[in-house]
């Protein structure tokens, strides 16, 4: 069987790149949520100021191939999320090996709605061709609130690794 493993990162591992009241507002009045979002229970949630965008990153502890072992290939990624009040995902990418960006969705192909109960056509991203893993992998999500203060919650992200291209 070519699939080797699936790796899941809980939503509470999500890390925002932009912080502070210029970009984020308090989420449900939780302390420091305007700096780091609010990580609680199953998700990390952000309230994004109107007219602003943020990047949210999901780092993965991806295995690397040892000499003599099969090479590993990234076959797909997935993201469980929910948008509210006009927030929208505007781009999903993966970064591999430091500076290699892999586009998972076209830029400004907007993703919205509730996608938290499993995988569907909106929240699973298949790679063709598959990408050979060397080291370092993270999923990067560009989120925007173009017209009004918007909210997004991340419930987790995952990857599927295969032993063939």
Range of the domain at 51: 3-162
Lowest-pLDDT range, 45-49, 64-68, 159-163? 64-68
pLDDT at 1: 54
pLDDT digit string, tens, across residues 69-117? 778 899 999 999 999 999 999 999 999 877 889 999 999 999 999 999 9
CATH of the domain at 23: 2.60.120
56 alpha-carbon distance from chain centroid: 7
Q: How far is CA 96 from each of CA 22, 44, 73, 150, rounded to the nearest angstrom?
A: 29, 23, 11, 29
pTM: 0.93
Q: Per the structure, how many domains does the chain have?
A: 1
Which residue has 């790149």 as its token pair? 17
Nearest one of 106, 117, 124 to 155, comparing CA atoms:
117
Q: Using 50, 70 and 90 to split pLDDT, how confident is the model at 41?
A: confident
Burial profile 142-154: b = 16 or more Cβ within 10 angstroms, e = fewer: bbbbeeebbbbbb
- Per DSSP, the three-state class of 11 is helix
As a whole number of angstroms, the distance between CA 70 and CA 18 comes to 38
């Amino acid at each position: 069987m070519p699939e080797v493993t699936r790796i899941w990162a809980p939503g509470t591992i999500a890390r925002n790149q932009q912080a502070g009241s210029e970009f984020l507002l308090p989420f449900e009045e939780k302390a420091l949520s305007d700096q780091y979002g609010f990580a609680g229970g199953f998700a990390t949630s952000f309230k994004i100021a109107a007219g602003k965008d943020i990047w949210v990153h999901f780092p993965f502890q991806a295995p690397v191939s040892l000499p003599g072992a099969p090479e590993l290939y990234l076959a797909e990624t997935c993201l469980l999320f929910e948008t509210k009040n006009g927030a929208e995902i505007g781009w999903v990418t993966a970064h591999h090996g430091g500076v290699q960006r892999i586009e998972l969705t076209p830029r400004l192909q907007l993703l919205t709605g509730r996608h938290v109960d499993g995988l569907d056509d909106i929240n699973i991203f298949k790679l063709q061709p598959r990408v050979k893993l060397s080291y370092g992998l993270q999923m990067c999500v560009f989120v925007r609130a173009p017209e009004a203060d918007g909210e997004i919650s991340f419930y987790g992200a995952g990857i599927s690794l295969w032993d063939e291209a």
